[in-house]
Amino acid sequence: MKPAPFDYVRPASVAEACRILAEAGGGATVIAGGQTLVPLLNLRMSQPFVVVDINGIDGLRGISRVEGGTRIGAGTRQADALADDTLARHLPVVVAALGHVGHYQTRTRGTVGGSIALGEPAAEMPAAAVALGALIEIASVRGTRQVPAREFYVGPYMTVLEPDELVTGILYPDWPEGHFMLFREVARRPGDFALVGLVGALAVERGAVSRAGIAWFGMGPTPIAANQAEDALVGTALAGIDVERVARLAVADAAPFDDHHASAEYRRTVGLRIFARTLRETLDIRSAA
């Protein structure tokens, strides 16, 4: 199929892009990698009046160290982020998650910000942002704002982003050196969206968990923070962690659903098992260190 007619613009700056989005009155959509948008256009499931191509805005790309964290420009290709040494050193769990995003071919075009802004419930990058306490940087003609990832997603493919706003970057706060990552997903085939997945990090100080950030993907209408499991872990000595209890608390925060891929019961059962296994393996690694 062919997309419905639309105007195409390629702004040279964030300010110009925001002006075009504001003038469109909700009738514009942004394209960066286009891995989701182009199929939607071709199927006429998306029929914008204006397509705003942000690939010409250099300031939207790149990974940098900032005070208190690491910033990924929204237009950074997933493949570039996957190969970035700074990201690997400071946020290895983000690199682990990126390695499961789509396929090699799609990662060369897909962008980190595009995945974050789309909010696919079974995708790795939104869940990683939620788990690690990232801030989503947003710009419009009204100015800029930062929204915690845990407040950004409000429903399936629904975020707090207004029609005239543009995601410009994602700021991941620093985690202590030597923190441990948690990542596991179950999918039918490599590159498929996860049926069940979890991502997160644990920091340990003086033999006890000092900080925990964990989120589910594929386990509800949005990426979901495992708040009860985080609370149960923080302050607990490693030797005293009841893995099965923490896993049950984590699943209790999820909202699994039935679809043509899997049932809610399957997701709940598998989620419980992979959470317990992943946490146990992480604790074993820490004990051996």
Question: Could you give the residue range(s) of every CATH 3.30.43.10 domain in the chain?
Answer: 7-53
Q: From CA 53, how far away is CA 34, in angstroms rounded?
A: 9
Whether this prediction's pTM lies above 0.85 is answered by yes
Please tell me the predicted confidence (pLDDT) of residue 284.
84
Q: What angle do CA 203, 208, 213 make, to 5 degrees?
A: 35
Q: From CA 21, how far away is CA 14, in angstroms rounded?
A: 11
Q: What is the average per-residue pLDDT within 75-86? A: 97
Output the six-digit token pair for 194: 């996860």
Question: Could you give the residue range(s) of every CATH 3.30.390.50 domain in the chain?
Answer: 180-288
Per-residue pLDDT tens digits for 126-173:
999 999 999 999 999 999 999 999 999 999 999 999 999 999 999 999
Please tell me the predicted confidence (pLDDT) of residue 143.
98
Q: From CA 72, how far away is CA 209, in angstroms rounded?
A: 27
Question: Could you give the residue range(s) of every CATH 3.30.465.10 domain in the chain?
Answer: 58-173
CA 284 to each of CA 203, 279, 287, 288: distance values in angstroms, whole numbers, following the listed order: 14, 9, 5, 6
Please tell me the predicted confidence (pLDDT) of residue 285.
67
Q: What is the average per-residue pLDDT within 195-208? A: 96
Q: What is the average per-residue pLDDT within 178-203? A: 94
Answer for the pair 212, 250: CB distance below 8 angstroms, yes or no: no
Nearest to 195 by CA among 223, 221, 215, 217: 217
Pairing mode, strands 196-205 and 208-217: antiparallel
Answer for the pair 167, 116: CB distance below 8 angstroms, yes or no: yes
Q: Which residues of 218-242 are buried (b: 16+ CB within 10 A; e: fewer)?
A: bbbebbbbbbebbebbeeeeeeebe
User: Which class is domain 7-53?
Assistant: alpha beta
Q: Is the pLDDT of residue 288 over 90?
A: no
Q: If residue 69 lies in a helix (H) or strand (E), which one and from where to where?
A: strand 69-73
Mean pLDDT for the chain overall: 95
Q: What is the average per-residue pLDDT within 267-275? A: 98
User: Which class is domain 58-173?
Assistant: alpha beta
The fold of 180-288 is: Enolase-like; domain 1 (3.30.390)
Please tell me the predicted confidence (pLDDT) of residue 191.
85
Per-residue pLDDT tens digits for 34-57:
999 999 999 999 999 999 999 999
| Residue with the larger pLDDT of the pair 226 and 59 | 226
